[in-house]
Amino acid sequence: MTTKKIRFANKTKAEVGESTEFSIDNWVSTGGTEARDNAPTIRFTIDIPTELHTRMKAQCATRRVKMKEVVQSLLEKEFPPASTV
């Protein structure tokens, strides 16, 4: 039996189309949140089908957005703040 070796080369940000403006150190230090997310939060747990979770996770990774942000956006659209008259 022969052993096949595969080498993975590190690509530059330009080669993979990544923005040079993105700073992983900044993202890690802020937990990936923007400064506007200083509002108090509460943990919200739901059960969803595995297949839906897999699709969502893959598409969020492709778009470089957090799953949390997508869910929050959908909930905001569905449940807008009550208008104050």
Reported pTM: 0.52
Q: How far apart are CA 41 and CA 68, in angstroms?
A: 12
Which has more pLDDT, 84 or 7? 7
d(CA 85, CA 83): 6
Give the Cα separation of 47 and 40 in Å (integer): 23
How is residue 39 annotated by DSSP?
S
pLDDT at 41: 87
Listed by start position, the domains of the chain span 42-85
> Is the pLDDT reported for residue 77 higher than 80?
yes
What is the C-alpha separation between 22 and 51, in angstroms, rounded?
Answer: 30
